[in-house]
Amino acid sequence: MQKWSNASIFGREGLWDLLIENGSFKKIVKSGTSGFDDCETIDLNGKLVCAPFIEPHIHLDTTLTAGQPRWNESGTLFEGIQCWSERKDSLTKEDVKERAKKALSWQMANGIGAVRTHVDTTDPSLVALEALLEVKAEMKELLDLQIVAFPQEGLISYPNGLELVEEALKMGADVVGGIPHFEFTREDGVQSIREIFKLAMKYDKPIDIHCDEIDDEQSRHVEVVARETIMNDYQGRVTASHTTAMGSYNDAYTYKLMRVLRLAELNFVANPLVNIHLQGRFDTYPKRRGLTRVKELDQNGLNVCFGHDDIMDPWYPIGNGNMLQVLHMGLHASQLMGYSDIANSLRFVTDNSAKALNLSNYGITEGNPANFIVLNGEDGYHALRLQAEVLYSVRNGKVIAQTKPRETHVFLPEQKNITFM
């Protein structure tokens, strides 16, 4: 038996004791009422405990390749795709595994417990997929990894694109992906969506589509995704990633669209760091923010979460796997900066992401696996404001990552400790 005492738990009032046995939460009780005083105890002194962060959207096959073979100087999505197309020629299994494991170790250190990665299947060798399937098996004790078969250069437009996605599913990919806005024509994009649903139903897989990642207000594939979801009774199993074009839709069309999206029960992933960097590149001024309508989707009862998308690759030249950076940018760009918005915002990188990934047994609940993180803050508001360190990351009751709190001093001239509180 192990006890983590005096924890502030996200979403609950007061202080709590977490009793862990055999890797699961045995009891969660008000502090001082649990007994078991003779067991191993870690006193958290009011630090914030929440379920592990979830990464709902990243590209581990491309991670840590920024500047290879050249930098994306225009900062556009399209030059990024061209840079990656050139880098793919030199991919090896060892190369992909080394970079992916390094990025995942950064994410683990930052409290991430589950990851959904998209893997480019527009490569006849499928070497990146093979590599990441091995990474998934080798790191299964440390985190949960879902793999999306993603046709980066098109399902219809790329030679044998459809066949390569199907082969990826046969090899073990978990999710069917797509990129309808990048196909040659809108008609090709619509056809690609219908083919995605056929594959998903054939192999009983969820769907996660790169959808309308462009500032073009006429890019309206998300309505087709919603329609196919409804017609095929696939509610709850479909995620629309990016949907940045929605930020450019007129309000009358968006009002009508929201009804269809609600009926489809779509999940949405916004990627604030990358979206605000890549989009608006063809605007002079006014310059669009390049983010989907996070606030409006949330207010309409749709599930919205935030992801990284990229870490140091052709589409995003910086990053370190810290979900609080993602959340910080997401709240600013979405104008979710009221106190209650901030205080409750951890849901965008925890519970909402878990729902999008269809994770089971997630959360701080008696009987669930003892997976949680301890943040160096007293509540959600201060965790976000301070960009709090993840002091502990715990999986099945075992600490898998630990960070010591930083110390800052100023000299006035006497030394004074600064806590920013």
Please calculate the CA angle 190-212-317 and round it to the nearest 5 degrees: 135
- Alpha-carbon gap, residue 180 to 319, rounded angstroms: 27
| Cβ neighbours for 396, distance < 8 A, ≥ 6 positions apart | 23, 24, 369, 370, 371
Least Cα distance to 370 among 402, 396, 398 occurs for 396
> How far from 330 is each of 44, 312, 348, 367, CA to CA, in Å?
29, 19, 9, 33
Distance spanning both ends of the chain, measured CA to CA = 34
- Alpha-carbon gap, residue 353 to 359, rounded angstroms: 9
| Cβ neighbours for 70, distance < 8 A, ≥ 6 positions apart | 83, 86
Least Cα distance to 309 among 51, 53, 62 occurs for 62
- Alpha-carbon gap, residue 271 to 274, rounded angstroms: 6
Q: Which helix (H) or strand (E) holds 26?
A: strand 24-30
User: What DSSP state is assigned to residue 316?
Assistant: B
- 213 classed as catalytic: yes
- Alpha-carbon gap, residue 285 to 248, rounded angstroms: 14
Side-chain half-sphere CA neighbours of 299 within 13 A: 8
Total Cβ atoms within 10 A of residue 387: 15
Least Cα distance to 179 among 217, 150, 219 occurs for 150
Least Cα distance to 86 among 59, 101, 65, 117 occurs for 65
Of the listed 183, 195, 213, 228, which one is catalytic?
Answer: 213
Place of tokens 């005083």: 37
- Evaluated on CA atoms 197, 185, 280, 254, the torsion sign reads negative
Q: Active-site residues: which are they?
A: 213
